A and B are shown apart, each in its own frame.
Chain A
Amino acid sequence: MSADPNETWNASGFLHVSPESKRPYAADVLESLHADAAEIIARYPQKRSALLPLLHLVQSVDGYVSGRGVSFCAEVLDLTTAEVSGVATFYTQYKRHPNGEYTVGVCTNTLCAIMGGDQIWDTVSEHLGVGHDETTGDGKITLERIECNAACDYAPVVMTNWEFFDNQTPDSTVKLVDDLRAGKQVAPTRGPSRVCTFKEVSRVLAGFDDGLADEGVGAGPASLLGLRIAKDNGWVAPEGGDSAGSGTASSTDRKDGSQ
């Protein structure tokens, strides 16, 4: 192994710390980082709890967990850089090298994979010419194979910067990445009216509201399926003690009900 201090680490399991990533923050950037960090720390009874949001904050500035970002977190939380790196390397959302403007994650866990996620992955990976956790040459898209993202009723699912793109096909996903690379505005199926950049979304994940909560739908069609069927059939929950009318009939009839 080389002892060259300038050598960069690319191997999985290490933070990729290029010399650039150690360059000090500009004074104004550092000042706003400190202001944001103070706000994050104030949310918790003990300041170490602020580490996960602080790492999201670092990504909102640097686009990945940089060496200087690790040092910054260590400094404001009174931790060692080893402790911060140990946390940063544990979680898949923290990127060890500069991330693209958009993370496109194709769910290839069992259900999505079988419903078509594998075909989507193969097509998009070939189309972009990049594999898992690799970024296109224009710096626009980092492609990922992701695990279950809690939208199985919309399989196959693709996430773009952690917004939902439901019921995808190889075609629709190729169009999605082409639009993103062309700089077109892209809207998720369930989410705000446009997909924000990786840095913008990282700032939200650090707990800073971007004012987009009221955009988009409350629920997609699959989420509403049971409700719609219940309404069609006149099915409702029993009335309770505090509701108008008597709810006792429905509850006493239940146990002897011959279903």
Chain B
Amino acid sequence: MTDTLTPILTKFWDDPQSWTLATYEKHDGYKALRKALGMKPEEVLGAVKDSNIRGRGGAGFPTGMKWSFMSPPDGGPRYLVVNADESEPGTCKDVPLMMANPHSLIEGVAISSYAIGCEHAFIYLRGEVVHVYRRLLRAVEEARAAGYLGDNVAGSGVKVEITVHAGAGAYICGEETALLDSLEGRRGQPRLKPPFPGAAGLYARPTSVNNVESIASVPGIILEGSDWFKGMGTEKSTGFGIFSLSGHVTNPGQFEAPLGITMRELIDLAGGMRGGRKLKFWTPGGSSTPIFTEEHLDVPLDFDSVAAAGSMLGTRALQVFDETVSVVRAVSRWTDFYAHESCGKCTPCREGTWWLRQIMTRIENGQGTQDDIDKLLDICDNILGRSFCALGDAATSPITSAVKYFREEFEIGMHTPAHVLFPPERSVLFDVNTKESSGMVSA
């Protein structure tokens, strides 16, 4: 039986200077690249396909299949674009990965580029993590100097170049076609599909957009074999992933485990709930995935089990909220976020998130009207499936799921403010009274 936790990408994050090429090579770094270069590109693609790895960015589309759906080579450029725009509320796996172990991504890019016939790959990093950008720039520089990138990768004659590109603050750029528009120097707004990026992506050329963790998992699959990868996880959700616990657990943190681990196991590893308080609700994969409650603690955290239970595995961004938290306040703040980040391209999302925000705000303030809950659900119904991209759909998830499990709290919002029902100071992680008084002293 596989161990509860399986440190692979996180294996040497505690090494001094874990981010350097020297450390990476000490831990078998770039062996997979040499092995891949000894294979035919289609064999490399076949190994990834055979591993059944599903995209780690949230949607869970099989990575190898995505590659094989790219239009066949026509002699023109083909692109690999890594989506490192990690911005989904609650998601915090790619940023620590790139900070501690950037070479796993660089090696993954080199191998994946070889597999799909890409000579110039891009890593689109959100701009708000400048030290991660430094680490990636440095890793590319080191890899190039060592001959792992460039015109003649490891003496094979293969060419792979990487440009690491910093965004400038826009959640929507995590949507793959918005990301491509942004990378082309435009406003980051999603494109109509089809054509899919595999046919016409970056500069209208065949392009694969993949998540950081998906690409960083490729070296392991090549070096250890697809059976090794399939030896972890479940039959339909193979392999391992980084699970990010945050919020009201005793010890928040990152846990690399086979897919299928349960929230009960993870909360236990995190030292249980803060101060022995009771769990109220949690997100399995970020704010865009419908919330879960205590009844879902034993749902295996794999793509299909989470979907069957009414949510999505997403990015394994497990945000935990205890009994002190107003679900209305939490959802209201997420709704602010979606309204702020809606790109404005399509009407249901642009107008709908604005109205959702008005209504959520008044419910939070105890000023909801009799028909506000029905109105919320009606607006959600008009956004879901009618928006241009998944952002609109995502904006409805917290609302509809919270109404489903905690309808009475929304009803109370017709007369009682959330902060009266759930005093916010009970939820914070520091002692509010002493902090506030000392804050005043220094003011």
Contact = CB atoms under 8 A, between A and B. Distances in A.
A31 interface: no
Contact of A116 (B163, B171, B245, B429): B429
A17 interface: no
Given A123-B439, A163-B130, A236-B3, A86 B245 contact: no
A163 to B, nearest CB: 6
A161 interface: yes
B185 A147 contact: no
Nearest to B329: A114
A226 interface: yes
23 contacts: A43-B163, A46-B203, A52-B127, A52-B165, A93-B168, A94-B169, A105-B128, A127-B442, A149-B128, A150-B95, A155-B252, A170-B435, A212-B134, A213-B134, A223-B100, A227-B14, A227-B254, A230-B5, A243-B224, A250-B2, A250-B231, A254-B232, A259-B1
B83 to A, nearest CB: 13
A242 to B, nearest CB: 5
Interface of A: 43-46, 48-53, 55-56, 77, 86-87, 90-94, 105, 108-111, 113-116, 118-119, 123, 126-127, 146-156, 159, 161-164, 167, 169-171, 174-175, 178, 188, 190-192, 201, 204-207, 209-210, 212-214, 216, 218-230, 233-243, 247, 250-251, 253-255, 257, 259
B251 to A, nearest CB: 6
Nearest to B240: A237
B99 A190 contact: yes
A181 B228 CA distance: 54
Contact of A171 (B164, B165, B253, B438): B438
Interface string B304-317: 00000000000001
Interface in B93-129: 94-96, 99-101, 120, 126-129
Contact of A119 (B77, B244, B432): B432
Contact of B135 (A94, A126, A171, A213): A213
B166 interface: yes
B39 interface: no
B2 A155 contact: no
Contacts of A250: 1-2, 231
Nearest to B318: A152
Give the one of B100, B317, B337 with max A CB within 10 A.
B100
B333 A110 contact: yes
B231 A238 contact: yes
Given A48-B184, A257-B1, A226 B256 contact: yes
Contacts of B257: 226
Contacts of B333: 108-110, 113-114
A87 B319 contact: no
Given A119-B436, A190-B131, A192-B131, A109 B337 contact: yes
Interface string B202-238: 0100000000000000001001110110111001000
Contacts, number: 349
Contacts of A164: 129, 131
Given A210-B134, A238-B6, A148 B87 contact: yes
B11 to A, nearest CB: 7
Interface size class of B (residues with CB under 8 A): 35 or more
B141 interface: yes
B439 A146 contact: no
A200 B329 CA distance: 38
Contact of B246 (A153, A230, A255): A153
Given A49-B184, A114-B321, A223-B100, A170 B127 contact: no
Contacts of A259: 1
Contact of A218 (B100, B182, B184, B244): B100
Interface in B332-389: 333-334, 337, 340-341, 343
B224 A147 contact: no
A218 B24 CA distance: 13
Contacts of B77: 45
B184 A205 contact: no
A169 B11 contact: no
A229 B269 contact: yes
Nearest to B340: A147
A56 B126 CA distance: 13
Contacts of A46: 184, 203
Contact of B170 (A91, A207, A214, A247): A91
A147 B87 CA distance: 8
A224 B128 contact: no
A87 B231 contact: no
B3 A209 contact: no
Given A56-B168, A126-B443, A226-B257, 16 more contacts: A91-B127, A92-B168, A105-B128, A115-B427, A148-B89, A155-B429, A156-B429, A164-B131, A175-B442, A213-B131, A224-B254, A225-B251, A226-B254, A227-B14, A240-B223, A241-B227
B188 interface: yes
Give the one of A87, A159, A206, A222 with max B CB within 10 A.
A222
B337 A110 contact: yes
A115 B247 contact: yes
Contacts of A206: 166
A254 B235 CA distance: 10
Contacts of A254: 1-2, 231-232
A255 B235 CA distance: 8
A214 B435 contact: no
A229 to B, nearest CB: 6
Contacts of B432: 116, 119
A175 B438 CA distance: 11
A1 B187 CA distance: 28
Contacts of B143: none
Nearest to A247: B228
B299 to A, nearest CB: 14
B253 A225 contact: yes
A59 to B, nearest CB: 9
A56 B166 contact: yes
A44 B180 CA distance: 13
Given A115-B429, A242-B35, A152 B231 contact: no
Interface stretch (B15-23, B52-60, B408-416): B15-23
B4 interface: yes
B131 A90 contact: no
B20 A111 contact: no
